[in-house]
Structure 1
Amino acid sequence: MTTFTPKTEDEIVEAVQWALSENAPVEVVGHGSKRNLGRPLQTEHTIAMSEYSGVTLYDPDELVLSAKAGTSVAELETLLAENGQAFQFEPMDYGPLLGQAAGQGTFGGLLATNLCGPRRLKSGSARDHVLGVRVVSGRGELFKSGGRVVKNVTGYDLSKGMANSWGTLGIATEITFKVLPAPETETTLIVRGLADDEAARAMAIAMGSSGEVASAAHLPVNVSGRVIDGVLKGGASTLLRLEGFAPSVNDRATMLKGLLASAGTIVDLSGDTSRKLWQEIRDVIPFVDGTEQPVWRVSMVPMEAYKLVASLRMGAAVDAFYDWQGGLVWLRMEGEPEAEAVRALIRKYGGGHATLVRASTSVRAALPVFEPQPAPLAALSKRLKQQFDPSGILNPGRMVAGV
C-alpha cells in the first residue's frame, strides 16, 4: 500500500501518472473529514493532498481568493474574517457528523463535494462562487478552467463541472473563489411552538415577504433543545435569519414580527449567539451523537417535506429537522436505512433526491448512497467519467458501483 503526499503540482501529476501506468486505483483525500461519506472504496493506494497547501492569491479589494487544494477551509475562513469577508455560500463541516474532528475540511474537498449551508436559498453553493480551477485528470494531464475574474468562461465551464464530482473526475490542485463582505449585523427571529405543517406555512410567508430572509429553518420539539447548549429547549423553534446593515435588519425584523404575530411567541437572538445557532444547523449538530445510526440528507419541495417526515414516522423511529425553508430535510433513523422506502416517499411528495450521509461501512457498500440517476443522465455521467478518467483510477465506485 502506497500513500502519496505531494507537495508540488508536478508531484501530483507524477502520482496520477504512476497510478495510470500501474493500473492502480487510488483514493484521493485531503484530511479525510468526508472519508466516511459515499460508497466505501477498495483501493490499495492513496493520494493525500493535505501537504499541498497555502494561499496563492488573496485580493480583498477585488474579492478574489486562490489557494492550493489541501489548504484548510478553517484557515481560509479565519483569513477572510480578518478582512471582514466570507464565503457567502457558508460551507458546512461534515467532520463532526462523521465522527471526525471539526475544522479538518480542505479547499479541494469543499469544491469536490459542492458544500453549502443554510444561506443556500440566498447565496447558492460552492459551484456558484468558483471562478477557476487547475485540475489533474485521470489521464495524468494538467488543465485549467476559468480564471481569477468573474467574467472568464468561454465554452464549457469545467470549474463548475468539478463541483459535486467527489474526486472521481480529476484532482483539483488550485482553486479560485469569489468572496464577499461578511454581513454587518445578524439577527434570528424564533417563532416558538409551531407544529411542522404550521412552521412550513410560516416560513413560506416570511420568505415570500419583503423581509429579505437569508435563512429559514425549523427544529421540532425533540431537536430544538440540542443546539446552542439547550437554550431553545422546551418547544419547537422556527428560525428566520436576517442580515445586513443594522437599521435595515431592525426594520425588517419589526415587519416580520407583525406579519407573523398570530403564529406564536417570537423571540430574538443576535450577534455571536445567532451565528453559533446557524453554524450548528449547518453542521447538523443535533445528530452528532458518536454513532453510525443512519442520517439522510433529503432535498425536496419545501411545502411537502413535513408530509414525508410524517409518513416515515408511521413506520419507523425518525428524528428530523428542516433547513432551506423545508427544502432540505435532515433525517436520523433508529433502524436500518430503507433506501427505497425513503426514495419512494420523496417521489410521492413532489420529487427530489436523498443522500445517505452517515451509515456503517457495510450499509454504505450495500445501498445506493447517492440518488440513482435516470438512465439518460447515468449514461451521460459514464461518458463524462470516460473522458476525464478512462481507466477509472480516481475514487472508483465512490458515487456509483462500477463507475
Structure 2
Amino acid sequence: MAERSDIAAADEAELAVLVAQAATDRRPLLVQGFGSKSGMLRPVQADATISTRRLSGVTLYSPRELVISALAGTPLDEIEAVLRQSGQQLTAEPPDLSGLLGSDAGQSWGGMVAGNLSGPRRIAWGATRDHVMGIRVINGRGEVIRSGGRVLKNVTGLDLCKLLAGSQGTLGIMTEITLKVLPAPATTGAIIIRGLDANQGVSALSAALGSPFGVSGAAFLPSWAAETIPALGSQSVTIIRIEDFPHSVAYRLDQLSGVLARFGRAETLDDLTSRAVWKAIRDVTPLRPGASEAVWHLSTRPSHGPQLLALIEAAGARGIMDWGGGRIWAAGPGTEAVHGTVMRAVRDLGGHFTLMRAPDSLRTAVPVVPEEAPALAALTRRVKAAMDPAGIFNPGRLYAGL
C-alpha cells in the first residue's frame, strides 16, 4: 500500500484551493489537526492527510466579553494558558484523552470542537457545542463559509455551528472557531462518600444534583478506579464538586454534607486535592487501557447508569460513571463479542455508544456509533451531500460508505 501523503496548508486560502482540487479529483482526505484522535471511530479510507496544524494563533480575545477566537490548528494548551492569564476557562472542561487513546500528540482547537469533547462540567454548563458562537469552515467544494459571529446577539448560522461541532471532520474543515468562555472559579471543593455501590452512588449523586447548591461535577468510581488516584483510597468513591468563591464553597459543602448524610459519612477535599482528583476524572486516567483493549464512551439516563455498568462488567469490561451516572467510560477486551454486548445494552436501556479506541480489525468490522433510524440516516446523507458532495472528508469515519 502506498504511503499516505501529508498536506499542511499555510493558511485558509491555500487550504481551500487544496480542498477544491481534491474534490475535482475525488481524492479522499483524512482531515485532522495533530492526529491525537486518529485511533477513534472507524479507520478513514483516504490516500492523503490534510492537517490544520499550521493554522495557529489566537485571533481575538476579549476577556470582558468572555469571548475567544483562534485558528483551528492552535494547540489547546496554548489557548488555556491565555485564558488562565485573565482568570478564565473553557466552559465545557474538555478532557485530555491522550492517555486513553494511546496518543502523545497534542490536541488542537479545531479537533476539540470537531469531537465535541466535554468534561464533568457539562452537567452544569452544557457541552462544547453549546458554547460555539461562530466558525469559519471550508466545505467540500473548497468554499469558505462563515457562520455565527463573535457576539451573543449574532445568531446567524447557529445551527451550522452546532452541526459542525461533533461532526468529526466529516462535513468540512473548520479554520477558525469562536467560543464563549467563563471566569475560572477561585476555589474548588468536593465531597466524597466511600463504600457505596453503583446504585447507592447514583442515588447520592442525584440528590446532590437536585439540591440548590450548584454542583458542577458528579461521579462514581468503583474501588479499583479509586485506588488509581492516591487521595481516594481503596473503597468505591461517590464524589461531588462545587466551584466558586472560598466562602461560598465552604458554606455549600457544609450544607450539601447534611443533604447527603443519609448515604454515609461525607468527607470534604481541599482545593488542591479536589482539582487533582477532578483532573483525573476529566481525563479518564483510572481506565489505563491496554493496547489490545477497546474503550467506549456510553451515555444514558443517569438512573440507567448502574444497570448499564453492571452489564458491561459482566462482559469483562470495567467502567466509571460521570455526569451523575449518565456517562460511562468503559474499557475491556477489544473483541466483537464484548462490543456486541455493549451495543445491545445501550440499545435495550436507551442511550448512545461511541467506540473511542480499539484494534483496527474491530474498528473496521463493527459499528462505532449506533446505526441511525432510516429517516435520520436519510437526513444524514442529505447533509453530507450538501456539505461534501464528492465525499472527500474523512470517508467511513462514522459510518461505512459515508
* TM-score, with structure 1 as normaliser: 0.96
What's 2:234 paired with?
A: 234
What's 1:85 paired with?
A: 88
What's 1:353 paired with?
A: 352
Matches of 1:345 and 1:244 in 2, distance apart?
38
Contact preservation (8 Å) 2:289, 2:295: no
Structure 2 residue 332 is the aligned partner of structure 1 residue 330:
no
Matches of 2:241 and 2:309 in 1, distance apart?
24
Between the aligned residues of both structures, percent identity stands at 44
Task: Pick from 127, 145, 148 the counterpart of residue 147 of structure 2.
Answer: 145
Task: Pick from 5, 23, 31 the counterpart of residue 20 of structure 1.
Answer: 23
Q: Which amino acid aligns with 2:339?
A: A
Deviation at 1:218, TM superposition (A): 0.3
Matches of 1:198 and 1:156 in 2, distance apart?
40
What's 1:303 paired with?
A: 303
Matches of 1:356 and 1:38 in 2, distance apart?
6
Matches of 2:289 and 2:371 in 1, distance apart?
28
Structure 2 residue 365 is the aligned partner of structure 1 residue 366:
yes
Deviation at 1:154, TM superposition (A): 3.3
Deviation at 1:335, TM superposition (A): 5.3
Residues 271-325 of structure 1: CA deviation (Å, up to 9, x unaligned): 23211211211111111245231111110011111112223333x2221110000
What's 1:193 paired with?
A: 195
Deviation at 1:27, TM superposition (A): 0.5
Matches of 2:357 and 2:11 in 1, distance apart?
33
Matches of 1:2 and 1:198 in 2, distance apart?
53
Aligned length: 398
1:1-400 matched pairs, under 5 angstroms: 1-101=4-104, 104-154=106-156, 157-227=159-229, 230-314=230-314, 316-334=315-333, 336-337=335-336, 338-349=338-349, 351-400=350-399
Contact preservation (8 Å) 2:147, 2:157: no
Contact preservation (8 Å) 2:133, 2:158: no
Matches of 2:88 and 2:122 in 1, distance apart?
17
3-state secondary structure, aligned to 1:176: strand
Contact preservation (8 Å) 1:223, 1:319: no
Contact preservation (8 Å) 2:134, 2:146: yes
| TM-aligned CA distance change 1:101 to 1:135, over 3 Å | same
Contact preservation (8 Å) 2:297, 2:354: yes
Residues 329-383 of structure 1: CA deviation (Å, up to 9, x unaligned): 111123515333222222333x101111111011000011112211111110100
Deviation at 1:236, TM superposition (A): 0.5
- Structure 1 unaligned segments of length 5 or more: list them: none
Matches of 2:103 and 2:392 in 1, distance apart?
26
Residues 223-247 of structure 1: CA deviation (Å, up to 9, x unaligned): 11112xx221210000000011222
Structural RMSD (CA): 1.4
More displaced stretch, 381-390 vs 204-213: 204-213
* TM-score, with structure 2 as normaliser: 0.96
Matches of 1:60 and 1:156 in 2, distance apart?
22
Residues 102-137 of structure 1: CA deviation (Å, up to 9, x unaligned): 7x1101111111111000101111111011000000
Matches of 2:216 and 2:184 in 1, distance apart?
13
Deviation at 1:384, TM superposition (A): 0.1
